[in-house]
């Protein structure tokens, strides 16, 4: 409950607990009659893996995926210049929000195929909550590039 209250206090929301389920309620619920609020804010975390970079560049060229959202934010731990060295102008124009931490993870779980990335995503969501860009939209979606 304390963790919920701490995170949501950043955006003016409250928490309550019902039968061990935390429920978050925005202090000012948006009106469904306001067309500005019928929008998507999309977020992705981009690693330096070549296939992710190529796929994101392709999506930008085709105006699909993340680029179809009303507003989007691409996070990585390196700049666009490092992610897309020597690429054409439109790929170089992709704006990256920097997450100052390693994105390297260990593998574990069933068959060693599960990435231990909880701390990375906790930091990512903390930063998203701090910036409050998502408050301009009705929906927030975290997308994987692939």
Quick one: pLDDT at residue 115? 79
Residues 64 and 123 in one domain: yes
- My answer on whether 38 and 26 are in the same domain is no
Residues 37 and 18 grouped into a single domain: no
pLDDT of residue 2: 52
Q: Residue 19 has what pLDDT? A: 40
Return the H-helix or E-strand segment holding 140. Answer: strand 139-143
Are residues 41 and 109 both part of a single domain? yes
Total domain count, the chain:
2
**Predicted local confidence at residue 92, as pLDDT:** 55
Same domain, 84 and 108: yes
pLDDT of residue 131: 93
For the chain, where are the alpha helices, taking DSSP H only? Answer: 2-9, 50-62, 80-83, 89-92, 118-131
Residues 87 and 18 in one domain: no
Residues 4 and 73 in one domain: no
Residue 23 is part of which domain span?
A: 1-30
Same domain, 37 and 25: no
Q: What is the pTM of this model?
A: 0.68
Say whether both 64 and 111 belong to one domain. Answer: yes
81, 59: one domain = yes
C-alpha pair distances (Å), 75 with each of 68, 97, 110, 133: 17, 5, 28, 13
For residue 16, pLDDT over 80 is answered with no
Rounded average pLDDT over 79-90:
72
26 and 55 both lie in a single domain: no
Rounded Cα gap, residues 42 and 98, in angstroms: 16
Of 94 and 28, the structure prediction assigns the larger pLDDT to 94
Q: Using CA atoms, how far apart are residues 111 and 113, in angstroms rounded to an integer?
A: 5
Mean of all residue pLDDT scores within the chain = 76
Residue 116 CA to residue 108 CA, distance in Å, equals 7
Do 58 and 92 belong to one domain?
yes
The residue whose two tokens read 């574990």 is 108
- The pLDDT value recorded for residue 11 is 41
**Is the pLDDT confidence value at 129 over 50?**
yes
Higher pLDDT, 23 or 132: 132
Average pLDDT of 67-91? Answer: 81
Nearest to 73 by CA among 130, 29, 117: 130
Specify whether the CB–CB gap between 25 and 4 falls below 8 A.
no
């Amino acid at each position: 409950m304390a963790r919920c209250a701490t995170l949501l206090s950043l955006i003016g929301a409250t928490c309550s607990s019902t039968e061990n389920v935390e429920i978050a309620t925005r202090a000012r619920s948006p009106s469904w009659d306001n067309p500005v609020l019928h929008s998507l804010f999309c977020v992705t975390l981009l690693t330096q893996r070549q296939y992710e970079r190529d796929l994101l560049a392709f999506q930008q060229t085709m105006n699909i995926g993340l680029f179809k959202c009303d507003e989007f934010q691409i996070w990585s731990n390196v700049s666009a210049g490092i992610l897309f060295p020597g690429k054409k102008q439109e790929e170089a124009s992709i704006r990256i929000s920097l997450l100052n931490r390693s994105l390297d993870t260990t593998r574990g779980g069933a068959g060693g195929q599960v990435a231990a990335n909880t701390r990375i995503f906790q930091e990512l969501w903390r930063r998203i909550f701090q910036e409050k860009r998502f408050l301009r939209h009705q929906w927030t979606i975290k997308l994987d590039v692939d």
